């Protein structure tokens, strides 16, 4: 009897449990170790998909009523390797070695060729790619390429400071593969056949959105900037960007608002030899400020808020890979010397407004997922939940969570997680458990009935009529 019941319910159980495993469409297969895959574990296949809302929710958990420094510390723990969190002092020689080993497992090298799987220049081909305009690639066959490869002319970046219109125009857009082309002022546009570009300003820079001079810049023995793995190479703020805007516009200046005059204007150089306004800056001492165009303001703000969260642990002695970074309105706060690696960004209220004015784009969201799934194994919480910016950094936050999709305890329909599973999977498990309990109850009833003796059937007595026939 038990075997018959189990056999009858087996197909149902298998069907019910199937959502807990990956479908054939979403399963990621391991690729050959000879292929160029994520650099810190080349046995794993690349993943170009975006995380589901359930996966993102499971990553952060329920933030409850947290806010301010409480929420800041909570998010720090979510996006920082546990090996780093367990260190009590970053500056000791032993800890510096440990940090190097840990950060070296998650962050790329600043220098390196566009074909070097450990370099930022190579990984920009994935994280900063314009996916709709560039040549098609698949996770299992992708190889990093150089400017001499056949597909070099068909690789386009979504460069910071360049407008959406120009980034989506293949006559104006370009990738960092143009950096190795020879500058030739007699040509009107980038020419891949002749391997020339009309100006050396048509170039992609590795832009530190959190300027390296404000917290983690070091000069090496050769006099050049030395960038260890960690904050200096964190892809959540190290973005492919227009060279001229990076060097002449942002430089090491703080982000903020600037008067939009011809004198203050900064331009980006495009592949067709044209230029466009990319921002404005002022260079007056103690007032140095750069304002980008509107379409990049939210991206920049969320990069900075990420940095002020991931590197929010202040010790007496921090290190270059793990500096202490802080965003403030108070200009009495200044960068400490490079021996302690503390850095600040000003204009907090402006950055809070930029986050609201320029919502998260699909490109920004996809870049966050690409970094998380393929390189650093951590997310920018303010791309996933831009509403958290005010909750963490705005001292005047009024507690309004009506637009906060993450605050489960403040919603009318709270979600839950069982055994660390997503809400959908947790519901499936509950249904399965309920079905199993029902089956057990049925079995108990059937077995209890089997042992009982059969009762004699009830017979209606044949009563004779007491009345006589008349």
Distance CA 310, CA 308 (A): 6
- Report the candidate in 104, 99, 108, 106 with the shortest Cα–Cα distance to residue 322: 99
Would you say residue 463 has pLDDT above 80?
no
pLDDT digits (tens, 9 = 90+) for 259-276: 999 999 999 999 999 999
Compute φ and ψ for 96, nearest 5 degrees. -60, -40
Find the length of the chain.
470
Q: Copy the structure tokens of residue 405.
A: 């999709």
pLDDT at residue 62 greater than cutoff 90? yes
What pLDDT, on the 0 to 100 scale, is given for residue 309? 98
For residue 461, how far is the Cα from the chain centroid? 84
* 4-18, 23-37, 195-209, 211-225: the lowest-pLDDT one: 23-37
pLDDT score of 109? 93
Q: Of 148, 190, 193, 151, whose CA–CA distance to 173 is shortest?
A: 190
Percent of the chain with pLDDT over 70: 80
Q: Check residue 429 and give its pLDDT.
A: 72
Per-residue pLDDT band at 426 (split at 50, 70, 90):
low
pLDDT of residue 37: 44
Q: Which range among 102-116, 221-235, 448-462 shows the weakest confidence by mean pLDDT?
A: 448-462
Give the model's confidence band at 416: pLDDT under 50 very low, under 70 low, under 90 confident, else very high: very low
Q: Spell out the residues 6+ positions from residue 139 whose beta carbon is closer than 8 angstroms to its own.
A: 28, 31, 45, 46, 47, 48
Average per-residue pLDDT for the chain: 85
The candidate with the shortest Cα–Cα distance to 60, out of 412, 410, 407, is 407
Task: Name the residue among 223, 201, 344, 336 with its Cα closest to residue 278.
Answer: 201
Q: Give the confidence band of 217 by pLDDT, cuts at 50, 70, 90.
A: confident
pLDDT over threshold 60, residue 460 = no
d(C-alpha 425, C-alpha 321), whole Å = 38
**What is the C-alpha separation between 107 and 430, in angstroms, rounded?**
40
Average pLDDT of span 49-61? 97
454 confidence band (pLDDT: 50, 70, 90): low
* The predicted structure's pLDDT at residue 432: 81
Instruction: Give the model's pLDDT for residue 338.
Output: 66
Backbone torsion region of residue 201, taken as left when φ is above 0, otherwise alpha when ψ lies between -120 and 50, otherwise beta: alpha
At residue 441, the pLDDT reads 87
Q: What is the DSSP string of 40-108?
A: T-TTSPP--PPPPHHHHHHHH---TT--HHHHHHHHHHHHS-HHHHT-S-SSSHHHHHHHHHHHTTTS-
Containing 225, the helix (H) or strand (E) segment is strand 225-226
Q: Is the pLDDT of residue 20 over 50?
A: no
Lowest mean pLDDT among 101-115, 313-327, 384-398, 403-417: 403-417
Question: Given this model, what pLDDT does residue 363 score?
Answer: 97
pLDDT(40) > 60: no
Q: Which residues pair with 157 in a beta bridge?
A: 129
Q: Provide the pLDDT for residue 222.
A: 75
Give pLDDT, residue 455.
52
DSSP per-residue codes, 366-434: HHHHHHHHHTSS---HHHH-TTHHHHHH-TT-----TT-TT-GGGSSS----STT--HHHHHHHHHHHH
In this predicted model, what pLDDT tens digit does every residue of 285-337 receive, in sequence order?
A: 889 999 999 999 999 999 999 999 999 999 988 999 999 999 999 998 998 87
- Position 456 confidence tier, pLDDT thresholds 50, 70, 90: low
pLDDT at 220: 72
């Amino acid at each position: 009897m038990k075997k018959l019941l189990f056999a009858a319910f087996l197909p149902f159980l298998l069907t019910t449990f199937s959502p807990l495993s990956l479908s054939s469409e979403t399963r990621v297969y391991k690729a050959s170790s000879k292929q160029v895959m994520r650099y810190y574990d080349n046995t794993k296949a690349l993943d170009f998909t975006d995380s589901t809302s359930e996966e993102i929710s499971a990553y952060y958990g329920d933030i409850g009523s947290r806010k301010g420094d409480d929420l800041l510390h909570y998010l720090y723990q979510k996006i920082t390797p546990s090996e780093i969190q367990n260190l009590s002092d970053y500056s000791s020689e032993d800890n510096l070695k440990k940090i190097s080993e840990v950060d070296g497992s998650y962050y790329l090298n600043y220098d390196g060729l566009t074909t070097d799987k450990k370099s930022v220049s190579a990984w920009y081909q994935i994280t900063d790619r314009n996916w709709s305009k560039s040549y098609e690639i698949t996770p299992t066959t992708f190889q990093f390429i150089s400017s001499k490869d056949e597909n070099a002319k068909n690789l386009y970046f979504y460069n910071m400071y360049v407008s959406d219109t120009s980034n989506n125009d293949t006559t104006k857009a370009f990738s960092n593969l143009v950096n190795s082309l020879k500058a030739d002022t007699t040509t009107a546009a980038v020419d891949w056949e002749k391997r020339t570009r009309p100006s050396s300003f048509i170039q992609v820079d590795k832009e530190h959105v959190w300027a390296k001079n404000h917290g983690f810049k070091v000069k090496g023995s050769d006099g050049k900037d030395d960038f260890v793995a960690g904050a200096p190479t964190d892809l959540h703020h190290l973005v492919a960007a227009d060279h001229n805007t990076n060097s002449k516009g942002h430089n090491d200046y703080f982000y903020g608002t600037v008067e939009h005059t011809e004198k203050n204007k900064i331009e980006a150089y495009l592949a067709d030899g044209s230029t466009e306004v990319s921002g404005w800056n002022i260079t007056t001492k103690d007032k140095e400020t750069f304002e980008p165009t509107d379409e990049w303001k939210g991206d920049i703000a969320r990069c900075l808020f990420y940095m002020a969260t991931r590197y929010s642990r202040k010790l007496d002695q921090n290190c270059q890979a793990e500096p202490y970074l802080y965003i403030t309105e108070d200009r009495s706060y200044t960068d400490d010397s490079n021996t302690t690696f503390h850095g600040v960004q000003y204009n907090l209220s402006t950055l809070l407004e930029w986050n609201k004015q320029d919502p998260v784009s699909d490109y920004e969201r996809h870049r966050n997922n690409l970094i998380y799934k393929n390189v650093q194994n951590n997310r920018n919480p303010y791309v996933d939940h831009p509403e958290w910016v005010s909750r963490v950094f705005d001292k005047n936050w009024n507690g309004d969570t009506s637009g906060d999709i993450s605050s489960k305890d403040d919603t009318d329909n709270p979600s839950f997680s069982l055994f660390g599973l997503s809400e959908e999977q947790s519901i499936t498990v509950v249904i399965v458990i309920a079905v199993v309990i029902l089956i057990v109850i049925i079995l108990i009833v059937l077995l209890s009935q089997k042992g009982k003796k059969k009762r004699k059937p009830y017979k209606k007595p044949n009563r004779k009529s007491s009345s006589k026939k008349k």
